[in-house]
Chains A and B, each alone.
Chain A
Amino acid sequence: MTETVLRTGAEKRRLKIDMRALSPFIALVVLAIAGALINPDFLTASNILNVVTRSAFIAIIAVGATFVIAAGGLDLSVGSMAALTAGVMILTLNSLGGADVGTLAIGMLAAIGLSAACGLANGLIVTFGRIEPFIVTLGTMGIFRSLVVWLAAGGTITMRNFELRELYRPVYFGSIFGIPVPIIAFLVVAAIGALILYRTSFGRHVVALGSNEDVARYSGVPIWRVRTLAYIIQGICVGIAVLVYVPRLGSATPTTGLLWELQAITAVVIGGTALKGGVGRVWGTVVGAVILELVANIMVLSNFVSEFLVGAVQGAIIIIAMLVQRSVHRGR
């Protein structure tokens, strides 16, 4: 008798978990249909590619955020970190002065190195200071932002070498087999992220840590290392996003990356990753990031809501996504 109960329970649950994993994809389809109905220009290939390209920065950052959040952490500093990394990268390129691939490579390495170091700092403070990640990254968010303002002396940091800008341009504007480079970049990052999270012991440890830190500790999971690494991965993802971002405008300003943390966390939550940790969905996160950009795009194409209210709509989306998560969770 007991076994029958267990069985039906499991089947119900499986159906629900499927729903939970599928819901971002369903939302994406619904939004696409809505967009097509509102404006026929919406479903053109150029518009769709444009939307997905624009979502690349957030998607790449959000893949990193999936790790941090699945491990039971949070990183609010990603937007400021991106601004600082972009600023330092441009300053590095300017001071090197060259216009060759080598110069660019050094600048890129500097960017990835700096963002990984920022992630390491977040991770070490959270892990060894035993401080709430919310507080730690709120603090570093202020520090990183302030550093970029200081470096820019309140103004703009611009790539001075025009030839280098031309050399670098294709990384955002170019395409391979008709697919824009940023889309390829974010698909590659997501694929690697999914591989690490789902198929390696480190990924399993991330989920275990977010599920229940005590159980992880009692099971011999090296929780210090896992947690710090999750923040480093977040940092590296920010660095990669910056590599794609810098050629777009060729400059960094004190407002670069503003509210990116909100968008990244929203993308993760829409994607079905549990904010309390223990569940990580990389592909859901990617879809979440596209949904955010899609909503902004539909707002621009339609005349219902002013596009100046994009932030408000995105803010509302994260709250709604949390409510949906809560009700799905209760239904279990």
Chain B
Amino acid sequence: MDSVLRAENISKSFGPIEVLSGISLDLRPGEIHAVIGENGAGKSTLMRILSGHLAPTKGNLYLNEQPITFAGPTDAESHGIVLVHQEILLAEDLTVAQNLFLGREIKRFGFVDDRTMRERTRGILAELGTRIDPDHEVRRLSIADRQLVQIARALLVPHKVVAFDEPTAVLTPIEAESLFAIIRRLREHGVAVLYISHRLNEVKAIADRVTVLRDGRHIATRDIEGLEPLGMARLMVGRDMSKLYPDKPATASDQVILSVRDMAVPGYVENASFTLKHGEILGFGGLIGAGRTELFEGLVGLRPSLGQITLRGETVHFRDAREAMAAGIVYLSEDRKGKGLLLQQNLRINLSLAALDKFTRGSLIDVGAEEKALDGAIKDFDIRTRSRDLLAGQLSGGNQQKLLLAKMMLLQPRIIIIDEPTRGVDIGTKEQIYRFIAGLAENGLSVIVISSEMQELIGLCHRVIVMRNGRVAGEVAQADLSEDSIVYLATGVHEERAAEIAAGHA
């Protein structure tokens, strides 16, 4: 079958760094083509090249077998290639209809024609099988509905190729199911769908063909028939998955260091209770928005919270992060760039910020001591930077995470709460971070890992507590750790059942 869009030997370099090399890919009308790969494998770059957001450094694109270069995303759109972005890019204060037609308003006598736009919006949304009110402000919509609006906006232009970038990252299985129905409907209309994801079960359920990328290289393109999620994972990682995680240290004791009872963070969390033991790595699983982050932000005083916290037998309540730090509890935010590091400041200032008291002599900062601490951190945490004068924002995601770890470890905490420890981190650094976390537990510290990556929770933690809708849904002991058990608690639906729903057999 002829391809509608074909990439031939596409390479992309940013400066001397090649992030994509020699990728070839063809998209056929009426197929769902999944592109899978680890973080940093080059999926998003490839998609941005195909949709005209980036120009390839080398290689050619062919549209209906005619060579083509896109001047930009608008040019690509005019050729029928649209991208549904991973982040929600909508103006929150405008209505659904206003957002749909933003920048391409329908006009009558020079004034915007709200009535026509509202009717067309209603029509498009109905086609997508949703009944969102076109007059609702986007601010009032759920994340899933916002994504539908974003899809509707993308589909407003005539389209031959639709690319989805990790569309289910923020959706529950039920919401994902309706998204898959939409994608299948597109396929029936002869549209070529490019589907980027690292959720392999999902890919198995929806894709016709799969292309695997690793480290910017093309590894394989296979029909989905006969390719199981485990096989995909092996292709993605390119080695035995089990090696990624260190052996779990046998340090988890019966001694409780922290116990939380009936914790509530207004608007996010209710009735959360759990205990943490010495030398334990305790996982917190659940869907995005289940209240995990808010629970721990409440615990360390970054949000108003109620409930009883007992630390080493004493009742405590933290009014801000400083008090929690003084008590030996640190929280590393999932939002490294927004809440973890000062991107515009250098490594030294970032490193010492939380523990500045340790670097003051009299009332003055001892820069020499700071420099020495930075040397130590670069060595101990293997922060890869040739120049020490870099700004934190110039480090890669993995090195930023190491710097954040180093910064918080300067406080010599007893309890370390790490939110999404490996988000946006390459696979080599992941391994280092896992080993580091295991090392903390071996030294008798207690670690709480909040993660949306189930494999991570299973591979790393002694015990996993799963949250759902702001409540603790249950706990999975080490012996019972499996994706199925976590998904069941996170969604209230067994994974086979979720896969069935996703596959449309419900």
A3 near B322: Cβ-Cβ < 8 Å: no
Q: Are A201 and B365 in contact (CB under 8 A)?
A: yes
A220: which of B320, B339, B352, B365 is its contact (CB, 8 Å)?
Answer: B320
Q: State whether B387 touches A218 (Cβ < 8 A).
A: no
* Pair A1/B394 contact, Cβ less than 8 Å: no
B393 to chain A, nearest CB (A): 10
Minimal Cβ-Cβ distance residue in B for A276 = B344
For B345, what are the chain A residues with a Cβ–Cβ distance below 8 Å?
Answer: 207-208, 211, 278
Q: Give Cα A3–Cα B17 distance, bound, in whole angstroms.
A: 10
Our pick among B302, B340, B349, B389 for the contact of A10 (Cβ within 8 Å) is B389
What separation, in Å, do the CA atoms of A2 and B15 have in the docked complex?
Answer: 10
Check if B16 sits within 8 Å of A6, measured CB to CB: no
Determine which of A2, A219, A222 lies in contact with B353 in the assembled complex, contact meaning CB atoms within 8 Å: A219
Residues of B within 8 A of A200 (CB): 360, 363-365
* In the complex, per-residue mask of A191-223: 1 if CB is within 8 Å of any chain B CB, else 0: 000010001110011011001101111111110
B493 at the binding interface (Cβ < 8 Å): no
CA distance A197 to B251 in the complex (A): 45
Q: Tell yes or no: A130 within 8 A of B by CB.
A: no
Are the C-beta atoms of A215 and B340 separated by less than 8 Å?
yes
Asked if A312 is at the interface of the complex by the 8 Å CB criterion, the answer is no
Q: Which residue of A lies closest to B322 (CB)?
A: A220
Could you tell me if B349 and A1 are in contact, using CB atoms closer than 8 angstroms? no
Q: Are B342 and A278 interface neighbours, CB within 8 A? A: yes
Q: Which residue on chain B has the smallest CB distance to residue A195?
A: B364
Number of A-B residue pairs having CB atoms within 8 Å of each other in the complex:
102
Distance of A193 from chain B, by nearest CB (Å): 14
**B343 CB within 8 Å of chain A:** yes
Q: Can you name the residue of chain B whose Cβ is closest to the Cβ of A3?
A: B386
Q: Check A5–B17 contact: CB distance below 8 A.
A: yes
Interface 0/1 of B286-312, CB less than 8 Å to A: 000000000000000010000000000
Question: Which residue of chain B is the closest to A212 with respect to CB atoms?
Answer: B342
Complex interface: chain B residues within 8 A of A211 (CB): 342, 344-345
Judged by a CB distance under 8 angstroms, whether B338 is at the interface is yes
- Are B343 and A212 interface neighbours, CB within 8 A? yes
Query: B326 — nearest CB in chain A belongs to which residue?
Result: A220
- The answer to whether B223 has its CB under 8 Å from any CB of chain A is no
Question: What residues on B are CB-neighbors of A4 within 8 Å?
Answer: 16, 386
* CB interface residues, B 354-380, toward A, < 8 Å: 354, 356-357, 359-360, 363-365
Assembled-state Cα–Cα distance A28/B344 (Å): 27
Given contacts A5-B15, A5-B16, contact A215 B384 (CB under 8 A): no
Residues on B with beta carbons closer than 8 Å to the beta carbon of A222:
320, 322
B321 within 8 A of A: yes
Quick check: is B385 within 8 A (CB to CB) of the other chain? yes
Instruction: Report B-chain residues with C-beta under 8 Å of the C-beta of A5.
Output: 15-17
Q: Does A10 contact B339, Cβ atoms closer than 8 Å?
A: no
B339: A residues at CB distance < 8 A: 212, 214-215, 217-218
Asked if B427 is at the interface of the complex by the 8 Å CB criterion, the answer is no
Contacts of A214 in B (CB 8 A): 335, 338-339
CA distance A216 to B353 in the complex (A): 8
Q: How far is the CA of A214 from the CA of B336 in the complex (A)?
A: 11
A6 close to B387 (CB less than 8 A): yes
B residues less than 8 Å from A6 (CB atoms):
385-387, 390, 394
B350: shortest Cβ distance to chain A, in Å? 9
Chain B neighbourhood of A207, CB < 8 A: 345, 349
Judge whether B341 is part of the interface by a CB distance below 8 angstroms: yes
Query: Which of A13, A217, A220 is most buried by chain B, counting CB atoms within 10 A of its CB?
Result: A220
Closest to A220 in B: B322
Residues of B with Cβ closer than 8 Å to A? 15-17, 302, 320-322, 324-325, 331, 333, 335, 338-345, 349, 352-354, 356-357, 359-360, 363-365, 384-387, 389-391, 394, 396, 407
Q: Give the 5 A-B CB pairs with smallest separation, nearest first.
A: A220-B322, A10-B387, A219-B354, A3-B386, A220-B321
Which residues of chain A have a CB within 8 Å of any CB of chain B? Answer: 1-7, 9-11, 13-14, 195, 199-201, 204-205, 207-208, 211-212, 214-222, 278-279
Known: A9-B390, A201-B360. 18 other contacts (CB 8 A): A1-B16, A2-B17, A2-B384, A4-B16, A6-B386, A7-B387, A200-B365, A204-B349, A204-B353, A204-B356, A207-B345, A208-B349, A211-B342, A215-B340, A215-B353, A216-B353, A219-B354, A220-B324
